[in-house]
Structure 1
Amino acid sequence: MNIRCSNIVPIPMADSVGESDIWRTEREFVSGNMYHIIAPSGTGKTSFVSILFGIRKDYSGTVFFDNQNIAHIPLLEWANIRRNKVSMVFQGLGLFPELTTLENIALKNKLTQHKTSAEIHTLISRLGLQNHIHKPAAILSFGQQQRVALIRALCQPFECLLLDEPFSHLDSENATICMHIIEEELQQQNAIGILTSLENKYYSNQHHVLNL
């Protein structure tokens, strides 16, 4: 999948934003590449990834998945896209608080059958969550919850992975581990990665850095 954005801008922000690397310009996201979008709070990072995920429709301009205008994608087709083509880590995470770490992850994987049990437990161990497998998400720290949400997002096939400030509550060591895992998954699936953050400390020389 390639993604092309043509002169898009959220309608509520139309009077407050000018041209940037994303807004009011032509921008293409190509398979196999990682894009790091840097911007202060309130400039539309969440709005942008929400447009790409199909949950915000209040924008002008056009977004294409390959040659398909996403504004014309039916609701039922979006469900299939979100299961097989586009995965997302939301800034608010969206975990089920009463479910355990493993249950939150397994619930997604039961729908997709994308990861083996061994693969899931390897990710849990790499992200330092092995002692929290049976704890409900509600009692985990936000940083621990972010790692659970990342594993859950990886439990499906995807051509594009959207990550909205996924490391905001992680120390540098855990953020680095997460980034390595993300890069491995993107390479395996030849997928697009789009990550938003407030600062640029997470990107490598292989990332395309864009300012919103």
Structure 2
Amino acid sequence: MDCIHLQQTLPAVFADRNSIESDVWHKDIRFEKKGIYLIEAASGTGKSSLCNFIYGYRKDYQGIINFNTDNIRSYKIKQWVEIRKHSISMLFQDMRLFTELTAMENILLKNNLTHFKSKKEIVSFFEAMGIADKLDSKVGRLSFGQQQRVAFIRSLCQPFDFIFLDEPVSHLDDTNGEIMGGILMDEASKQGAGIIVTSIGKHITLPYTETLKL
């Protein structure tokens, strides 16, 4: 996938508003592979909706979303499985971890499907992110910041053309945010992938090619 193309896209719940001031909604927007995008959003502007639209979890929007030239409304379940396995990695704001499983077990749930990273590589991510001692800890016992780092590592355990990160450093200090940014840039560079980051304030420091106001 080389491009995510939004054409006059708008959440259905916004349809009755008299005016929409946004760089994304009701616009013609292209997210290009290898681009690095920051989407700045205020609460209630549809940030989570955008994540769910692009990942195919929701269809309650007007307009068109294309992957390359394919309208994603036409995708069947099998196509979405392939997209989520090979083309788009998503780090959701709520992380969506299994709290009763250990940190490593959460990672392996994905990596056993993709076989994308070796165990040594996964452990090196834990070491770099300062949570090597939490490999065998149940996620429910970790702090939000530790959980965020586990969810980030999981997002890297698959091939992707685009990686979408919804408020990835909301629970991290600046040092861990910088470490995450470095790892993210390295992994995206290896795959020639695009990066899309959302933020309602604090955001990960990256060399953004474009900043958009949602």
TM-score when normalising by structure 2: 0.95
Q: Any idea what the Cα deviations from partners look like across 1:80-125, whole Å, max 9, x if unmatched?
A: 1111111111111111111111111112101000001111111110
Q: CA RMSD in A?
A: 1.3
Q: Any idea what the Cα deviations from partners look like across 1:50-93, whole Å, max 9, x if unmatched?
A: 11101110000001101101111112210111111111111111
Task: Select the residue among 140, 151, 154 that pairs with 1:152.
Answer: 154
Counterpart-to-counterpart distance in 2, 1:68 and 1:134: 42
TM-score when normalising by structure 1: 0.96
| Runs of 5+ unmatched residues, structure 2 | none
Counterpart-to-counterpart distance in 2, 1:201 and 1:167: 6
Aligned partner of 2:197 in structure 1 is 195
Counterpart-to-counterpart distance in 2, 1:123 and 1:62: 37
Aligned partner of 1:36 in structure 2 is 38
1:97 aligns with 2:75: no
Counterpart-to-counterpart distance in 1, 2:180 and 2:205: 12
Counterpart-to-counterpart distance in 2, 1:75 and 1:13: 27
State the SS of the aligned residue for 2:24. coil
Aligned length: 212
Counterpart-to-counterpart distance in 2, 1:204 and 1:82: 24
Query: What letter is aligned with 2:48?
Result: T
Task: Select the residue among 175, 178, 181 that pairs with 1:179.
Answer: 181
Aligned partner of 2:74 in structure 1 is 72
Query: What letter is aligned with 2:84?
Result: R
Q: Any idea what the Cα deviations from partners look like across 1:31-60, whole Å, max 9, x if unmatched?
A: 111111011111111111111101110000
Aligned partner of 1:13 in structure 2 is 14
Residue 207 of structure 1 and its aligned partner are, at CA, apart by 3.6
Query: What letter is aligned with 2:161?
Result: E
State the SS of the aligned residue for 2:81. helix
Counterpart-to-counterpart distance in 2, 1:92 and 1:202: 17
State the SS of the aligned residue for 1:28. strand
CA contact (8 A) 1:35 1:194 kept: yes
Residue 205 of structure 1 and its aligned partner are, at CA, apart by 3.8
Alignment of structure 1 residues 17-28 onto 2, 5 Å:
18-28=20-30
CA contact (8 A) 1:38 1:200 kept: no
Q: Any idea what the Cα deviations from partners look like across 1:127-165, whole Å, max 9, x if unmatched?
A: 011111110000000110000001001100111111111
CA contact (8 A) 1:19 1:25 kept: no
Bigger shift: residues 48-57 or 197-206:
197-206
State the SS of the aligned residue for 2:201. coil
* Same amino acid, percent of matched pairs: 41
Bigger shift: residues 63-72 or 12-21:
12-21
State the SS of the aligned residue for 2:20. coil
Aligned partner of 1:4 in structure 2 is 5
Query: What letter is aligned with 2:13?
Result: P
Counterparts in 2 of 1:147 and 1:37: CA distance versus 1, 3 Å: same
| Runs of 5+ unmatched residues, structure 1 | none
Counterpart-to-counterpart distance in 2, 1:168 and 1:51: 22
CA contact (8 A) 1:38 1:210 kept: yes
